[in-house]
Every structure is written in structure tokens, then in C-alpha cells.
Amino acid sequence: MIPASRTPVQWRVPPVPVLLTAVVLIVCAEAGGASMVRFKLELTRWARNAMLARPAVHGLLGVRDVDERVLDEALVKFDAGLRLFHLHAEGMGLVIVAMTTVAATLASSPASRRPIIALLTVGGAGYPLGYLLWSGLIPYYGLERGKTIAEWLVWIPFGGATIVALWWLAGLVALRLWHH
């Protein structure tokens, strides 16, 4: 039960561009999920043909019994990348809305509030795109090289930004609790 003497928190809405980013991200997640189902066959066919056109990249040997396992794994991961984009874009959209609301409400100093909101928005919106990028890179660069590119271009910088912002916000909230 909240003590009567404590002032209730007045929740503040994050800046509209932040909310728009989150909503667009969720829209992309839903559109991506629907497209995966609608164009599953076309996407698989495209990825398979792109891989067959680059046998050296995927280590294809021209032996059916060996190559089919390689192609199967790459296609499963290609599909997993699309699914993980759908999942993370939905989740991170909600994380952006929830966490920037907390930051807008509890981070009283603009010096910390603004960077936290910026990091959460940019990091949260960028991170899921790494999965889309990874899927797109698999047919051209293979599983591991595609993953490395997606890691250094997207997952590590954007995921890192989100994690830093969340720790920063957690510290601020803990500090606020301590002072009260």
C-alpha cells in the first residue's frame, strides 16, 4: 500500500518521435511476420538459388548427400533470422515505449534523460534490424561471415546502446529510491 504522505508518480509521455519509432518498429514486425508466411516459398526459393549460385561461399561440393545438409542448415538459419526479426521488433517496440516512459518520468535531469531516451530509441529500433540483415546476408556471405557482419554493424553497437541505456536508467531509478 502506498503511504499517504508519498506523492504519486505523474507518468510523462516520451517524445512523439520516440513513440512513432516504436510504433513503426512494431508495424514492421507485424508486416515482416505476415510476409514471411505469405512469401515463404518465394523467399526460400530465392535464398536457395542465391546459395547455389555461390558454391564456394557455402562450401558446396556438388555432392547431393553432402550439400543438402549445408543448404538445409543455411535455409533454416535464413528462416530463423526472419522469425527473430519479427520477434525482436515486436519486443523492442514495447521495450522502447515502456523504458522511455520510465526515463521521461523518473530521470529528472535533461542531461541524463535525453541520452537515455536517445540510446533506448536508436538501440532498440536498430537491434532487430540485425536479424533482417543477417538473413539477407546468409545467401551471399554464408552463415558465419553473415553473422559477423551483422554483429559488428548492428547487434553489438545497437544492442550495446540499449544495454548501456538500461543500466544507466536502472542506476538512476535506484538512486532516486535511495534518496527517497
Partner 1 sequence: MSPSGALLLVLAAVAPAFAHHVGAYVPTDNEITTNFKQIKFSVQAGKFDVALRFFETGPLRADMRARAGSLPRGLEAGLSAALAAGDAAEVERRLMVFFAALARDLALDAERRTADPQLSHDARAAIGARFLEAIWRYYNLVDFAVAQRDDKTSVAVRLAFDEAAGYAKGTAAPAGLREPLARIAQVLSVLIESSTPARRGS
Query: Under the rule (CB under 8 A), what is the footprint of partner 1?
Result: 59, 61, 63, 65-66, 68-70, 72-73, 76-77, 80-81, 83-84, 130, 134, 147, 151, 155-156, 159-160, 162-164, 167
Residue 113's nearest CA partner among 176, 59, 65 is: 176
Q: Which is nearer to partner 1, 17 or 59 (CB)?
A: 59
The amino acid present at 148, given as its one-letter code, is T
Q: Nearest 5°: phi and psi at 171?
A: -65, -45
Q: Cβ of residue 116: shortest distance to partner 1, in angstroms?
A: 13
CA distance 156 to 8: 38
Q: Which is nearer to partner 1, 13 or 69 (CB)?
A: 69
Q: Cβ of residue 157: shortest distance to partner 1, in angstroms?
A: 8
CA distance 108 to 131: 35
- Element counts in the chain: helices (H) and strands (E): 8, 0
Q: Cβ of residue 99: shortest distance to partner 1, in angstroms?
A: 15
Q: Which is nearer to partner 1, 32 or 130 (CB)?
A: 130
Q: Which is nearer to partner 1, 88 or 113 (CB)?
A: 88
Q: List the grid coordinates of 83.
A: 522469425
Q: Cβ of residue 40: shortest distance to partner 1, in angstroms?
A: 16
Q: Cβ of residue 70: shortest distance to partner 1, in angstroms?
A: 7
User: How many other CB atoms are found less than 10 A from the CB of residue 126?
Assistant: 19
Give the three-class secondary structure for 120.
helix
Q: Which is nearer to partner 1, 118 or 164 (CB)?
A: 164
CA distance 104 to 117: 8
